[in-house]
Structure 1
Amino acid sequence: MDQGMAAVAAGIVGLLGAGIGGLATAYGARVGAQQTVEAARTQVDRQAAAEHLHWVREQRRQTYSDIMEADLVLTMTLQDCTSDLLRRSGLPGETVDRMQRELMILATTVTRAGMWGPDDLVTKAQDLIRSRGEDVGYTMAWSCAIASGIETAIQAVEHGTHERQPSRAHSDFTLAVRQTLAAPANQDHGPAAAQ
């Protein structure tokens, strides 16, 4: 074989080697690019999930705060009513209206908890509104008894009111809120977090 032919053969082999090397490089670049895209997609998905959980937590925090604020307002009104009733002074119509309006605000606020969960906290919130509804009912019955002027009716309602056990609904709700908001986001199993 002469030198010319050897150079041509070496050139062809070199070209084939360069082609194969180029193909391997292109394949490696393609696989690397796919892995980069997949890693970026996974990171974006995880970040979106984390942001969604944060948003749900903030919505819950706001709803729970609104419930506690509405409950405080109603509790203060009930305490004012109790002070008046202990002095055997009936409740003016505007006070009764305010008490009923505050109970409705609390009930409306409690219904928002159902959107955010979790279910055990929603149950505690419903227990709270049920308890406050009973408080309003007792207060109204006491006021009606005083307005009737019938001493035995007044004494019966007062005795029932004093014998009534204080509700644990507020403390149970507060504890459930604390536990829900303190739980790490990845342990959140409420209906809104499942989306």
Structure 2
Amino acid sequence: MDQGLAAYYVGIGAFIGTLITAAVSYLAARHSANIAAKASAEQVANQATVERAQWIRQEQRQAYGDVIRAYSQLAHTLARLRVAIHDEAPTGELLDSIDVQQSLLHVACYNTRLFGPPVIADIVKPLAEAGREDAQAHRELGMHSMAGGSPQLAEIQGKVNASRREMGRAFTAFTDAASTVLLGGTEEAVEIRRRAGLER
């Protein structure tokens, strides 16, 4: 009977050991599952953050590219107008297209505010304003040239030269800031470059 009782106790001990092992395994598996779920949720959140940042950068690149294209088109038309005036060629169509292209530059500059950073909006405002002033100065030059010249023509030419320089300076400040943003620079770095551009 001692052997039977001993076997009975060994069986009960084995059963209790199995229950304890099962309980510990369950708790360990549950803990591992919780850790895996948290890690997975964190990974998804991080991936969403990265994808959002990539999307914003893509939209910034598009918006900044629109500004560059609009600036280039306006600058090209203004240059064609100066050549036409010099060659005493008709300027009516060019004067009409200046208004459209200046508006496109203004809209492109305004749209940069959608994707930031805010310092870009501050930097692009002078470009939009310089584009407007340069277009206006060129319109005046075109009108006075069409009228056969005037005593104010030299003064207007001076305004055109000044507005061209200002538009070029504003464009350079914008492209410096935009490249800093697109290459991963911080908003502080953009601000430093903006200040440096203003001091030129």
Listed as ranges, the gaps of 5+ residues in structure 2 are: 189-200
Which stretch shows the higher mean deviation, 137-146 or 163-172?
163-172
Contact 1:90–1:146 under 8 Å retained in 2 = no
Q: What does residue 103 of structure 2 align with? A: 104
Shift in CA distance, 127/82, structure 1 to aligned 2, threshold 3 Å? same
Given residue 173 of structure 1, which amino acid in structure 2 is its aligned partner?
A: F
Identity, in percent, stands at: 24
Residue in structure 2 matched with residue 54 of structure 1 by the alignment: 54
In the TM superposition, residue 188 of structure 1 has moved relative to its aligned partner by: 7.0
Which moves more between the two structures, 59-68 or 144-153? 144-153
Alignment root-mean-square deviation, CA: 2.2
Higher relative contact order (CA 8 A, sep 6+): 1
**Alpha-carbon distance in structure 1 between the residues aligned to 2:62 and 2:162:** 35
Q: Which amino acid aligns with 1:143?
A: G
Instruction: Say which SS state the counterpart of residue 91 (structure 2) adopts.
Output: coil
What does residue 131 of structure 1 align with? Answer: 130
Question: 1:103-162 CA distances to partner (integer Å, 9 max, x unpaired)?
Answer: 111111222111101111122222111101000110112223234446212233123334
TM-score, structure 2 normalization: 0.84
Question: What is residue 177 of structure 2 aligned with on the other side?
Answer: 176
Q: Distance in 2 between matches of 1:188 and 1:73?
A: 29
Q: Counterpart in 1 of 2:33?
A: 33
* Mapped pair 1:120 → 2:119: yes
Contact 1:63 1:112 in 2 (8 A): yes
State the distance in 2 between where 1:154 and 1:90 align: 18
Secondary structure of the residue that 2:152 maps to in structure 1?
helix
- Conserved? CA contact 1:89–1:146, under 8 Å: no
- The match for 1:16 is 16
Distance 1:152 1:16, change over 3 A: same
| Preserved contact between residue 90 and residue 143 of structure 1 (Cα < 8 Å) | no
Give the 3-state SS of the residue equivalent to 1:166 in structure 2: helix
Q: Does residue 63 of structure 1 match 2:60?
A: no
Larger displacement relative to structure 2 (74-83 or 118-127): 118-127
Moved more, 160-169 or 22-31: 160-169
- Kept in 2: contact 1:90–1:144 (CA 8 A): no
For 1:115, give the aligned amino acid. Answer: L
Q: How many residues align?
A: 186
